[in-house]
Structures are given as structure tokens and as C-alpha cells.
Amino acid sequence: MKRILIVDDAATVRMYHRNILETAGYAVDEAVNGIEALEKSLQEPFDLYVVDVNMPKLDGYGFLRELRSQDILQAPAIMVSTEAESNDHKQAYAAGANDYLIKPVKPEQLLIHVKLLIGETFT
């Protein structure tokens, strides 16, 4: 089963994303900030990351930069943000994100992007 890490400081958002992804059959883990996400990724890399921008301790950009500088399997990352940071999507790509979605992400939209990036064939 493909493993996805949700990195977000808001418990509600984590639960929302987890519900969508678990229903679709992915194994989901959570982290509340960049530091925790990094620790978890180093233990065992994930197949995909769904990352919030604004978080305490280490934000989404910081986490992705750290992640990309590790010598581990580099899985795609979807950065999820609200429109307040809509102009920052280039910055997200520079930090190492592969995709940029805007909150609230609709379930269908999230699943399409996850499926495309994680490489699961559509049936």
C-alpha cells in the first residue's frame, strides 16, 4: 500500500485529508509541523507528501527544503495552501514541491492529483 504523510498543524485539516485518502485506500500518517514530518520521513520515506505552508516550528517550505536535501527516496510533494499565499506557488516549487493545491481541496481534486503523482493507474 502506498504511504502518504499529511503535514499540517490544524487537526481538522489532517482529519479531513486523512478521511479522503484512507477511504481511497492509502496508508496515511500525520505530522503536526515540519520537524515532526522530517523525523518521520527519515525513519521511513513516504510515497507522497501533502504539506501545509504555514506551520509553527518549521513551515512547509522549510520542511521541503530539508527533505529534498536528504539522501533518501525523493517522493513527490503536494503543497496545500489557502489563497492568502496564492502568489507563493513558485516559491513552493523552488522549495521542492511538485504540485500546489488551494484549500479547501475538494476530495475529487485531491484524489486525482494524488493518483497522478503517486503513479497509480486509473481503472
Please name the residues in contact with 52: beta carbons below 8 A apart, sequence gap of 6 or more.
Answer: 7, 8, 9, 10, 13, 60, 79, 80, 81
Is residue 121 part of the contact set for another protein (CB under 8 A)? Answer: yes
Cell 520521513, residue located: 41
Please name the residues in contact with 113: beta carbons below 8 A apart, sequence gap of 6 or more.
Answer: 78, 99, 101
Give the distance, in angstroms, between the CA of residue 105 and the centroid of all CA atoms in the same chain. 12
Report, in Å, the least distance between residue 59 CB and another protein: 6
Site for another protein in 79-118 (CB under 8 A): 82-84, 86, 88, 90-91, 93-96, 98-100, 102-106, 108-109, 112-113, 115-118
In the bound state with another protein, the residue whose beta carbon lies nearer, of 42 and 82, is: 82
In the bound state with another protein, the residue whose beta carbon lies nearer, of 29 and 107, is: 107
Report, in Å, the least distance between residue 68 CB and another protein: 3
Is residue 68 part of the contact set for another protein (CB under 8 A)? Answer: yes
Is residue 58 part of the contact set for another protein (CB under 8 A)? Answer: yes
Question: Which DSSP helix (H) or strand (E) runs through 49?
Answer: strand 48-52
Size of the site for another protein (CB under 8 A): 56
